[in-house]
Amino acid sequence: MAYTWERASTENLFDAVRKQPLDFDSWLLLTFDDASVDSWQQPRTALWFTGPEEGAMFLAERLVPLWVPPGDESATTALVSEISKLRASRKLKVKDLEAWRKGFNKVAGTRGQILWYGPFDDFQRGEGDVSDLAQDLEFWLGENELSLSDLNPGEPKHQRILADFFIQLGV
Protein backbone atom coordinates (compact mmCIF):
# COMPACT_ATOMS: atom_id res chain seq x y z
CA MET A 1 0.00 0.00 0.00
CA ALA A 2 1.43 3.37 -0.97
CA TYR A 3 0.90 6.49 1.11
CA THR A 4 1.53 10.03 0.02
CA TRP A 5 3.27 12.16 2.61
CA GLU A 6 1.08 15.07 3.56
CA ARG A 7 1.75 18.11 5.69
CA ALA A 8 -0.06 17.79 9.02
CA SER A 9 -0.34 20.37 11.77
CA THR A 10 1.21 19.33 15.07
CA GLU A 11 -0.57 22.08 17.00
CA ASN A 12 -2.32 20.36 19.90
CA LEU A 13 -1.62 17.00 18.25
CA PHE A 14 -0.96 15.20 21.51
CA ASP A 15 -4.29 16.34 22.95
CA ALA A 16 -6.19 15.47 19.80
CA VAL A 17 -4.70 12.05 19.06
CA ARG A 18 -6.86 9.95 21.36
CA LYS A 19 -9.97 11.92 20.40
CA GLN A 20 -9.69 10.74 16.80
CA PRO A 21 -11.65 7.70 15.81
CA LEU A 22 -9.53 4.59 15.37
CA ASP A 23 -10.11 2.60 12.20
CA PHE A 24 -8.29 -0.07 10.20
CA ASP A 25 -6.41 2.61 8.23
CA SER A 26 -5.26 4.49 11.36
CA TRP A 27 -1.56 4.46 12.09
CA LEU A 28 -0.73 3.11 15.53
CA LEU A 29 2.31 4.06 17.60
CA LEU A 30 3.17 2.00 20.68
CA THR A 31 6.12 3.15 22.78
CA PHE A 32 7.85 2.28 26.02
CA ASP A 33 10.68 3.94 27.91
CA ASP A 34 13.60 1.71 28.80
CA ALA A 35 15.22 -0.72 26.36
CA SER A 36 17.07 -2.44 29.21
CA VAL A 37 13.76 -3.62 30.74
CA ASP A 38 11.32 -5.93 28.95
CA SER A 39 8.49 -3.88 27.47
CA TRP A 40 5.95 -6.10 29.25
CA GLN A 41 7.32 -4.96 32.60
CA GLN A 42 6.77 -1.23 32.11
CA PRO A 43 4.05 1.19 31.06
CA ARG A 44 3.53 1.63 27.35
CA THR A 45 1.93 4.46 25.47
CA ALA A 46 -0.48 3.95 22.57
CA LEU A 47 -1.33 6.74 20.15
CA TRP A 48 -3.04 6.65 16.79
CA PHE A 49 -2.91 8.94 13.80
CA THR A 50 -4.75 9.43 10.53
CA GLY A 51 -1.66 8.53 8.51
CA PRO A 52 2.10 8.00 8.54
CA GLU A 53 3.03 11.67 8.11
CA GLU A 54 1.04 12.75 11.14
CA GLY A 55 2.76 10.07 13.23
CA ALA A 56 6.21 10.96 11.90
CA MET A 57 5.63 14.63 12.76
CA PHE A 58 4.54 13.64 16.26
CA LEU A 59 7.70 11.56 16.68
CA ALA A 60 9.98 14.37 15.52
CA GLU A 61 8.27 17.32 17.17
CA ARG A 62 6.81 15.88 20.36
CA LEU A 63 8.33 12.53 21.28
CA VAL A 64 12.01 13.19 20.56
CA PRO A 65 11.96 16.35 22.74
CA LEU A 66 10.42 14.27 25.55
CA TRP A 67 13.05 11.55 25.25
CA VAL A 68 16.15 13.70 24.72
CA PRO A 69 17.27 16.27 27.29
CA PRO A 70 17.61 19.86 26.07
CA GLY A 71 21.10 20.56 24.82
CA ASP A 72 21.81 17.03 23.57
CA GLU A 73 21.82 18.13 19.94
CA SER A 74 23.67 15.07 18.64
CA ALA A 75 21.03 12.66 20.00
CA THR A 76 18.20 14.86 18.73
CA THR A 77 19.80 15.10 15.29
CA ALA A 78 20.37 11.34 15.13
CA LEU A 79 16.75 10.52 16.01
CA VAL A 80 15.30 13.14 13.68
CA SER A 81 17.55 11.74 10.95
CA GLU A 82 16.03 8.29 11.51
CA ILE A 83 12.54 9.79 11.25
CA SER A 84 13.59 11.50 8.01
CA LYS A 85 14.53 8.08 6.61
CA LEU A 86 10.97 6.94 7.30
CA ARG A 87 9.54 10.02 5.60
CA ALA A 88 11.79 9.48 2.56
CA SER A 89 10.70 5.86 2.22
CA ARG A 90 8.23 5.01 -0.52
CA LYS A 91 7.74 1.48 0.81
CA LEU A 92 5.72 1.25 3.97
CA LYS A 93 5.20 -2.51 4.12
CA VAL A 94 5.42 -4.24 7.48
CA LYS A 95 8.93 -5.58 6.85
CA ASP A 96 10.17 -2.11 5.87
CA LEU A 97 8.53 -0.51 8.90
CA GLU A 98 9.97 -3.20 11.19
CA ALA A 99 13.48 -2.60 9.79
CA TRP A 100 13.05 1.15 10.29
CA ARG A 101 11.71 0.66 13.85
CA LYS A 102 14.68 -1.53 14.80
CA GLY A 103 17.11 1.06 13.41
CA PHE A 104 15.33 3.88 15.24
CA ASN A 105 15.34 1.91 18.50
CA LYS A 106 19.05 1.20 18.17
CA VAL A 107 19.75 4.94 17.86
CA ALA A 108 17.28 5.79 20.66
CA GLY A 109 18.86 3.33 23.10
CA THR A 110 17.62 3.82 26.66
CA ARG A 111 15.84 7.10 25.84
CA GLY A 112 12.73 5.31 24.62
CA GLN A 113 11.64 2.58 22.25
CA ILE A 114 8.98 2.04 19.63
CA LEU A 115 7.17 -1.25 20.05
CA TRP A 116 5.00 -0.79 16.95
CA TYR A 117 4.51 1.84 14.28
CA GLY A 118 2.25 1.04 11.38
CA PRO A 119 -1.34 0.58 10.27
CA PHE A 120 -3.82 -0.69 12.85
CA ASP A 121 -5.00 -3.31 10.34
CA ASP A 122 -1.52 -4.88 10.29
CA PHE A 123 -1.35 -4.71 14.08
CA GLN A 124 -4.67 -6.45 14.68
CA ARG A 125 -3.62 -9.23 12.27
CA GLY A 126 -0.46 -9.82 14.32
CA GLU A 127 2.00 -8.73 11.65
CA GLY A 128 5.60 -8.00 12.57
CA ASP A 129 6.84 -8.29 16.13
CA VAL A 130 3.49 -7.69 17.84
CA SER A 131 1.82 -11.08 17.52
CA ASP A 132 1.60 -11.34 21.34
CA LEU A 133 -0.16 -7.97 21.55
CA ALA A 134 -2.51 -8.98 18.74
CA GLN A 135 -3.39 -12.09 20.75
CA ASP A 136 -3.99 -9.87 23.78
CA LEU A 137 -6.31 -7.75 21.65
CA GLU A 138 -8.21 -10.81 20.49
CA PHE A 139 -8.56 -11.96 24.12
CA TRP A 140 -9.68 -8.45 25.16
CA LEU A 141 -12.33 -8.43 22.45
CA GLY A 142 -13.52 -11.87 23.56
CA GLU A 143 -13.82 -10.62 27.14
CA ASN A 144 -16.07 -7.90 25.73
CA GLU A 145 -18.14 -10.43 23.77
CA LEU A 146 -16.74 -9.39 20.40
CA SER A 147 -14.83 -11.52 17.92
CA LEU A 148 -11.96 -10.17 15.88
CA SER A 149 -13.86 -10.99 12.68
CA ASP A 150 -16.81 -8.86 13.85
CA LEU A 151 -14.64 -5.88 14.84
CA ASN A 152 -15.90 -2.65 13.28
CA PRO A 153 -13.93 0.33 14.58
CA GLY A 154 -16.57 2.66 13.13
CA GLU A 155 -19.11 1.48 15.71
CA PRO A 156 -19.00 3.59 18.90
CA LYS A 157 -19.09 0.53 21.19
CA HIS A 158 -16.20 -1.10 19.32
CA GLN A 159 -14.32 2.22 19.30
CA ARG A 160 -14.64 2.43 23.08
CA ILE A 161 -13.48 -1.21 23.52
CA LEU A 162 -10.41 -0.55 21.35
CA ALA A 163 -9.57 2.70 23.16
CA ASP A 164 -9.87 0.90 26.51
CA PHE A 165 -7.53 -1.84 25.28
CA PHE A 166 -4.85 0.66 24.26
CA ILE A 167 -5.27 2.70 27.44
CA GLN A 168 -4.82 -0.40 29.61
CA LEU A 169 -1.49 -1.06 27.86
CA GLY A 170 -0.15 1.95 29.70
CA VAL A 171 -0.92 0.69 33.18
Residue 2 belongs to some domain of the structure: no
% of the chain surpassing 90 pLDDT: 32
| 75-129 pLDDT, tens digit each | 999 999 999 999 888 778 899 999 999 999 999 988 889 999 999 989 888 887 7
Planar angle of CA 23, 101, 14, nearest 5 degrees: 50
Domain that holds residue 79: 13-168
Instruction: Look at residue 8 and tell me if it is in a domain.
Output: no
pLDDT computed for residue 6 by the predictor: 42
Categorize the per-residue pLDDT at 48 as very low, low, confident or very high, splitting at 50, 70 and 90.
confident
What local confidence, expressed as pLDDT, does residue 15 receive?
46
Maximum alpha-carbon separation in the chain: 50
CA-wise closest residue to 62 among 118, 116, 27, 15: 15
pLDDT at site 19 = 61
Task: Please say whether the dihedral angle defined by the alpha carbons of residues 147, 149, 153 and 156, taken in this order, is positive or negative.
Answer: negative
**1 within domain boundaries:** no
Residue 115 lies in a domain: yes
70 belongs to a structural domain: yes
Predicted local confidence at residue 60, as pLDDT: 94
Q: Is residue 5 part of a domain?
A: no
What confidence tens digit (pLDDT) does each residue in 50-71 have? Answer: 889 899 999 999 999 989 998 9
Percent of the chain clearing pLDDT 70 (strictly above): 84
Structural domains counted in the chain: 1
